[in-house]
Every structure is written in C-alpha cells, then in structure tokens.
C-alpha cells in the first residue's frame, strides 16, 4: 500500500475545518490512490470539538483515512507533515487596528512557521487560509529558513472560483469552458480579478463581455466583496466554498494544472510583473506537479496595471508593517 501522506490542518474545529476534513479524508484533495493521516491542530479550547469531528470522520469509514491525531502543540502537530493547511487564525475583533491584527496573527504564524521548520517532512507544502492570508504566509515562511520559500503559499483560489462563476453567469457559459482567468495581488478587497487573458470556449472573454461598466462596477466589486456578502446573508463567513478552494489549490499543486488553463494562487514573487520579490502575491500560475510556476509573458493593459499595483502596494504595506513589528 502507498505510504500515507500526513496532512496537518490547523483550526480543525472551526467551520472551514469541519467542511474541509471530510473532503481530504475522502480522497478529493490528494486523489483516490493516496491514503492520508490527518493531524488536527487546535488551541486547547478547541480540542474537545476537534475530538467530536474526529469521531465523525471515524464514522464515515473512509477507506483512505489511515489515522487521525489531535494536537494543541504546533511542534507536535506539524511533525512529519507533508501538507500543512493553516486555517486557524485570529479574526479582527471590534476596534482592532490593522497593526493589532497583524501582531495577533504574527503570534500564531511565527511559531507555526518555526514548528514546520523544526519537524515537517522535507517535501512539506503549506497553504495558508487564515486571514490576512498572504501576510500570514510571509510570516510563517520567515520563521522557516530551512524550508524553500516557494513551499509557502496563500489561498486566492476561492476568489478565482468566485470570478469563474460570476463570468459564467454573465456570459451563460459553462464554467468548464472558461480558461485563463487570473486573480492578482492580495486576498482582500483590493484583489484584482482579471478577465483580459481569459477565454470563453476559446473566444477572448473581454470581447464577449464587451461591457467595461459591468467589469468595473459589478464584476470586480462582486468578486472582491463576496466574503462580506456571504457573511451578510448567512450570518457566518464562507466555509464550504473556502474548504473547496483549499482542496482545489492543493490538488492542482500536487497533481498539476490541466493543459487547458492556468489558475490563481498567492506564491512568493520572483519579481515577475513588477511585483517586488518575496511578496506573497496572487499570480496566474501553473503546476506541472509539485511546484507552482508563474505564467510569463502576459501583456498587462493600463487598467490592469493600476489595479495590480494597488493590491500589490497593500501587500508591500503589510510586509513593511510586520517588519516594523519585528514579525519577519
């Protein structure tokens, strides 16, 4: 039997954790031939609820689930991890300034990065979901000097999937016919969903849409503010769709993207498209199985340039703020 892959999930007792763990255990993330061992990492107050989730996982009798362990200590939780999904984070509380939020999360993602450095498997791949995801990933990476920086990524796949769905509905095109859409920048309201290289059944999407007003005043704000709209409607933040995006991200990273389309992920910049090196920014990416590569050579029009720069500037400010706080 193939050796099980160790998957550590932080925030395992939270709402994304609850939607995510069953998908992983069923084989949807790593494929039908790969057994998984789940390592659930929580804070002490979350352990009992994680034990309940583990009981339900047992009760599914998933053939691929080779074991479940629960931890409240990051060093133990990340020991031997091949895949690490960093979901648990400190939410913004009432009256909390951005600096407070970054500092509180630095207190989580710094030690988690150090724990990954200390004991994760050599091939560890990290996806940060917990917000502010891009900068939390940067903090974790800075505390893991022995792990290649490109193993630390942040999730913009939910934004990508939201954009796909909005474009499909506007143009009455099946999602499966849409290719090469891109989310650029930060997983925040400044993100830029870019349809200028996208195609709809092979036709240029921007030409099919032919509606700059819709693009600027409906599409972009709908995608960028979808999280808030879901909180407003559901009374709770996106959970199943966030879990689904995490499954998609890791699946494509490990198994590779299809030849027909790239996807979006926040990965460390190599300076491509004028994004300062080292910033963890969303790009058009492909994976040939195991490593993300930024899609090169795209023409960026003036409209896109302005939007990308605005989001990247926000990431630079976040990086400078965490540097100023001594978190990286």
Active-site annotation, residues? 187
User: Rounded distance, CA 279 to CA 102, Å?
Assistant: 15
User: Rounded distance, CA 217 to CA 283, Å?
Assistant: 22
Q: Does the protein bind ligand NAI through residue 88 (CB under 6 A)?
A: yes
Task: Provide, rounded to whole angstroms, the least separation between the CB of residue 229 and ligand NAI.
Answer: 13
Concatenated DSSP letters of 15-36: HHHHHHHHHHHTTTTT-TT--E
Cβ within 8 Å of residue 144, ≥6 positions away: 113, 114, 116, 117, 152
| Near ligand NAI by CB under 6 A: residue from 70, 129, 295, 327 | 129
| Near ligand NAI by CB under 6 A: residue from 7, 9, 13, 315 | 13
Task: Name the residue whose CB lies closest to ligand NAI.
Answer: 14
Task: Provide, rounded to whole angstroms, the least separation between the CB of residue 159 and ligand NAI.
Answer: 7
10 Å CB burial of residue 236 (0-12, 13-18, 19+) is: exposed
Of 24-83, binders to ligand NAI (CB under 6 A) are: 41-43, 46
Could you tell me if 153 and 280 are in contact, meaning their C-beta atoms sit under 8 angstroms apart?
yes
Chain-centre distance for alpha carbon 125: 12
Could you tell me if 176 and 155 are in contact, meaning their C-beta atoms sit under 8 angstroms apart?
no
Question: Tokens for 224?
Answer: 């960028």
Q: Does the protein bind ligand NAI through residue 158 (CB under 6 A)?
A: yes
What residue numbers does the annotated binding site for substrate cover? 92, 98, 131, 162
| Near ligand NAI by CB under 6 A: residue from 87, 120, 195, 312 | 87
Task: Provide, rounded to whole angstroms, the least separation between the CB of residue 302 and ligand NAI.
Answer: 28
Q: Which region, judged by CB under 6 A, interacts with ligand NAI, from 5-13, 54-62, 178-186, 279-287?
A: 5-13
Q: Does the protein bind ligand NAI through residue 141 (CB under 6 A)?
A: no
Using omega within 30 degrees of 0 as the cis cutoff, is the peptide bond preceding 132 cis?
yes
Q: Does the protein bind ligand NAI through residue 106 (CB under 6 A)?
A: no
**Rounded (to 5) percent helix, strand, coil in the chain:** 45, 20, 35
Task: Provide, rounded to whole angstroms, the least separation between the CB of residue 44 and ligand NAI.
Answer: 9
What residue numbers does the annotated binding site cover? 11-17, 92, 98, 105, 112, 129-131, 162
In the complex, which residues of this chain contact ligand NAI (CB under 6 A)? 10-11, 13-17, 41-43, 46, 87-89, 91, 108, 129-131, 133, 155, 158, 187, 237-239, 242
């Amino acid at each position: 039997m193939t050796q099980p892959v160790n998957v550590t999930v932080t925030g395992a007792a939270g709402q994304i954790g609850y939607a995510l763990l069953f998908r992983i255990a069923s084989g949807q993330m790593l494929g039908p031939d790969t057994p998984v061992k789940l390592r659930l990492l929580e804070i002490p107050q979350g352990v009992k609820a994680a034990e309940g989730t583990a009981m339900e996982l047992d009760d599914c009798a998933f053939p691929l689930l080779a074991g479940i362990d629960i931890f409240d200590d990051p060093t133990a939780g990340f020991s031997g991890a091949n895949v690490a999904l960093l979901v648990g984070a400190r939410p913004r509380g009432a009256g909390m300034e951005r600096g407070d939020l970054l500092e509180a999360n630095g207190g989580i993602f710094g030690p988690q990065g150090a724990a990954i450095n200390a004991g994760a498997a050599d091939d560890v791949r990290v996806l940060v979901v917990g917000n502010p995801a891009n900068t939390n990933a940067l903090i974790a990476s800075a505390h893991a000097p022995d792990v290649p920086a490109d193993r630390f990524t942040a999730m913009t796949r939910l934004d990508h999937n939201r954009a796909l769905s909005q474009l499909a509905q506007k143009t009455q095109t099946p999602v499966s016919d849409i290719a090469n859409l891109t989310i650029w920048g930060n997983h925040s309201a400044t993100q830029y969903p870019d349809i200028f290289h996208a195609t709809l059944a092979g036709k240029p999407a921007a030409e099919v849409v032919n509606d700059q007003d819709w693009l600027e005043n409906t599409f972009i704000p709908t995608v960028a503010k979808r999280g808030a709209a879901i909180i407003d409607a559901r009374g709770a933040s996106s959970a199943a769709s966030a879990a689904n995006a995490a499954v998609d991200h890791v699946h494509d990273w490990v198994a590779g993207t299809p030849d027909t389309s790239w996807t979006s992920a926040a990965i460390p910049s190599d300076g491509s498209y004028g994004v300062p090196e080292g910033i963890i920014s969303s790009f058009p990416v492909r994976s040939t199985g195991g490593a993300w590569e930024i899609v090169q050579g795209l023409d960026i029009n003036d409209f896109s340039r302005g939007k990308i720069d605005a989001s990247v500037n926000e990431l630079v400010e976040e990086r400078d703020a965490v540097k100023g706080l001594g978190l990286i």
